Chains A and B, each alone.
Chain A
Amino acid sequence: MKEIEITSGRMNPGIDPVLHAWGWEIPVYLFIGGLVAGILFFSALFFLRGKTEQYPTTVKRAPLLTPIFLAIGLFALFLDLTHKLYFWRLYTTIRLESPMSWGAWTLLIIFPLSVIWSATWFKEIFPEWNWKWSFLNRLDDWFTAYRKVLAWSLIFLSIILGMYTGILLSAFNARPFWNTSILGPLFLVSGLSTGAAAIMLMSKNKAERQIMSKIDISLIGIEIFLIIHLFMGFLASIEVHVQAAELFLGGPYTAVFWTFVFTLGLVVPLIAELLEWRGYHIPVKVPAFLVLIGGLVLRFIVVDAGQTSRWLYKFMQ
């Protein structure tokens, strides 16, 4: 038997009895980061492959949303800070050891880039559009000429952004459930998948929806594979990792994870997309919507579960 009790009473708000440092803001921020990474990645990729006219929603329209999404994400991050007036301190140093730091910098670079990238498509989407001031028009022409460079930077930065959303958590070895290198690729793939789903929801072009749906099928496949690996890795590891896995295998997160994330967020959309591919009539909006919800719930659960998994006092609860 082993029993640990804090007898002096420790009830530090947000820490005891279970850590609750991060509420809804961080999962929302991570979800949006992944979604934006996905949209920008596909936009840049299809542009570089010369598919701009074939898949206009992917390349031109969808990116218009990314600056708005990013602003919401950054605002959520800002809401999470408890010493808000000092937030500018984030941008007085770069600390490579701290994912929070290089993530904040990546966002700072990708935000204006997403604005510029969207702006270069404005005139093509809205033929009547005119940037009022001639210098803006000239800037637009200049950036349009450098679209290739922009696209390559976007591919690079969106992968970093997508990975970062997972690495932010996996870098914390104090929380056994987060402390797995699978979270980086898992969140990246899930982010790309939510990006593809958002494009499917927006596109009115059948061929475009189909290609996105095909891409999504493989992404979901990889995600399922990564999730199985995540648990295999935990179960083959040390005690605290086994206990972290048990949170999902009989523990408090079992029902919500396997129902909402695994079944409704991955398996059902996968089957729906496969059936549609085979010619069955399934409105594409259904799997796309499920993928988005599944991605959001995944982040909520992972952020929450990580905070309940710990090294010390684990016999206490």
Chain B
Amino acid sequence: MARYAMAIDTKRCVGCTDCVVACQTENNVPVGYCRDWIVEETTGTYPELHMEIRSERCNHCEDAPCVRSCPTSASHYADGGIVLVDHDECIGCKACITSCPYDARFVHPEGYVDKCTFCIHRVKEGKDPACVSVCPTHAMIFGDLEDENSEISEALKTRKHKTLIPEAGTVPHVYYLL
């Protein structure tokens, strides 16, 4: 069994938003919506400022509250631990939206709930997710954590990294290389 994950190199990301646009095109994301987004976090006091740029999306959590709170099992774990929403089972109760600490989900204009899928349709063909494949600075790595020699496993072994609000207890699988 694979365990898919993503690592985003905050030292390389320049916040160009190519990943956001690529996702919108690849997945026909309705206008005005997005499944991934860029965050700039500034910490410190002038002149000692530190800026971190991150491309964020659903974390495909291992202990996903969205899956737990879904009354119909529309939200579920698919192959490789990818968290997906089955459109024909979703009733639009929005329990999953309120349960996601990352606000990664939204109601699609057609009524069902939508979010990042790690481009599972591309992954199945052996390709990288659209965002990863277009990143001009190669700041994103997608891969299988179960495979010790994969690029992502190597990166997590050799680089300092973090996840977002691990204290929310969801065991996120999008890592940020520091």
Instruction: Let me know if B32 and A172 touch, CB within 8 A.
Output: no
Q: Is A258 an interface residue (CB 8 A)?
A: no
Annotate B136-178 by CB proximity to A: 1 below 8 A, 0 otherwise.
0000000000000000000000000000110111000000000
Binds A, one of B2-10, B66-74, B121-129: B66-74
Q: How distant is the Cα of A15 from the Cα of B41 in the complex, in angstroms?
A: 20
Chain A residues 300-317 with CB under 8 Å of chain B are: 306-307, 310-313
Annotate A100-113 by CB proximity to B: 1 below 8 A, 0 otherwise.
11001000000000
Q: How distant is the Cα of A50 from the Cα of B15 in the complex, in angstroms?
A: 72
Annotate B90-116 by CB proximity to A: 1 below 8 A, 0 otherwise.
111111011111110111001111000
Question: With A12-B33, A19-B97, A100-B93 known to touch, is A173 a contact of B169 (CB < 8 Å)?
Answer: yes
**Closest B residue, CB atoms, query A85:** B111
Q: How distant is the Cα of A121 from the Cα of B17 in the complex, in angstroms?
A: 66
Q: Which of A8, A80, A311 contacts B94 (CB 8 A)?
A: A80
Task: Give the A-B contact count at a CB cut-off of 8 A.
Answer: 160
Q: Is A89 an interface residue (CB 8 A)?
A: yes
Q: Which of A13, A83, A311 contacts B91 (CB 8 A)?
A: A83
**Closest A residue, CB atoms, query B75:** A98
Q: How distant is the Cα of A7 from the Cα of B94 in the complex, in angstroms?
A: 26
Which B residues are in CB contact (< 8 Å) with A89? 72, 74, 89-91
Q: How distant is the Cα of A98 from the Cα of B167 in the complex, in angstroms?
A: 21
**Closest A residue, CB atoms, query B46:** A1
Q: How distant is the Cα of A1 from the Cα of B99 in the complex, in angstroms?
A: 28
Q: Which of B71, B107, B113 contacts A101 (CB 8 A)?
A: B71
**Closest A residue, CB atoms, query B112:** A83
Instruction: Let me know if B41 and A4 touch, CB within 8 A.
Output: yes
Q: How far is the CB of B70 from chain A (nearest CB, A)?
A: 6
Interface range on chain B (Cβ under 8 Å from partner): 35 or more
Q: Is B28 an interface residue (CB 8 A)?
A: no
Q: Which of A6, A172, A173, A174 contacts B39 (CB 8 A)?
A: A6
Instruction: Let me know if A86 and B88 touch, CB within 8 A.
Output: yes
Question: With A12-B34, A19-B97, A82-B111 known to touch, is A2 a contact of B42 (CB < 8 Å)?
Answer: yes
Question: With A13-B33, A101-B71, A101-B72 known to touch, is A174 a contact of B43 (CB < 8 Å)?
Answer: no
Instruction: Let me know if B40 and A81 touch, CB within 8 A.
Output: no
Q: How far is the CB of B136 from chain A (nearest CB, A)?
A: 15
Q: Is B37 an interface residue (CB 8 A)?
A: yes
Annotate B10-46 by CB proximity to A: 1 below 8 A, 0 otherwise.
0000010100100000000000111001111111110
Kindly list 18 other residue pairs between chains A and B, CB separation below 8 angstroms, not including A14-B107, A313-B103.
A4-B40, A4-B42, A5-B40, A8-B38, A12-B34, A82-B107, A83-B111, A89-B89, A89-B90, A95-B72, A97-B69, A98-B70, A99-B69, A172-B99, A174-B101, A310-B103, A312-B102, A312-B164
Interface residues of A (CB under 8 A from B): 1-16, 19, 21-22, 80-84, 86-87, 89-90, 92-93, 95, 97-101, 104, 171-175, 238, 306-307, 310-313
Interface pairs A-B: 3 shortest CB-CB: A82-B92, A101-B71, A83-B92
